[in-house]
Amino acid sequence: MLLIGLGGNLPSSAGAPVATFAAALARLEAAGVTVVARSPWYESAPVPASDQPWFVNGVVQVATQLGPAELLALLHQIEADFGRLRHAPNAARTLDLDLLAYDELIQKDHAPILPHPRLHERAFVLLPLADIAPAWRHPVAGVTPAAMIDGLDRGQLIRLLEPPS
């Protein structure tokens, strides 16, 4: 299962984050990456806590013939096309596209690091992931999204932005 996390808290040339996500997903589709499933959108407080605007987040499952490095390069190009600047860690951004998992691939020594090294720590990834792939198992930990959610720090603020479809 190929999983991509989406996030953003600033408007882009496409508009507010949800409009940016729609445009970014259309760009993925145009590049031959099929969106198989999309979670509902969530709003989440910045992690670590800061005074920047809340983020909008979601997860998509995709299918593609691209390998992990090529897919990551495409994600970075789409981020740049929508105004993503990489000037400081955890900064506000127009679009963040994270390659969360690429099937059962475990890759620690070179980019992309798979599965995403902080996936299991983030409510804004795990809640939408549980919506679309509740039976998925973390390739290293061997546990489901629900089990990882149970282990989260309860201080992460997150709320559903739209009802599940």
Which DSSP string corresponds to 28-93?
Answer: HHHTT-EEEEEPPPEEE--SS--SSPPEEEEEEEEE-SS-HHHHHHHHHHHHHHTT---SSTT---
- For residue 107 the two structure tokens come to 């890759």
User: Rounded distance, CA 35 to CA 28, Å?
Assistant: 8
- The CATH homologous superfamily of the domain defined by 2-160: 7,8-Dihydro-6-hydroxymethylpterin-pyrophosphokinase HPPK (3.30.70.560)
Plot region of 142 (φ>0 → left; ψ -120 to 50 → alpha; else → beta): left
pTM, rounded to two decimals: 0.96
The residue extents of the domains of the chain are 2-160
Walk along the chain (165 residues) and give the pLDDT tens digit of each residue.
999 999 999 999 999 999 999 999 999 999 999 999 999 999 999 987 889 999 999 999 999 999 999 999 999 999 999 998 877 777 889 999 999 999 999 999 999 999 999 999 999 999 999 999 999 999 999 999 999 999 998 889 999 997 655
Contact of 127 with 146, CB cutoff 8 Å: no
Non-local CB neighbours of 151 within 8 Å, separated by 6+ positions: 120
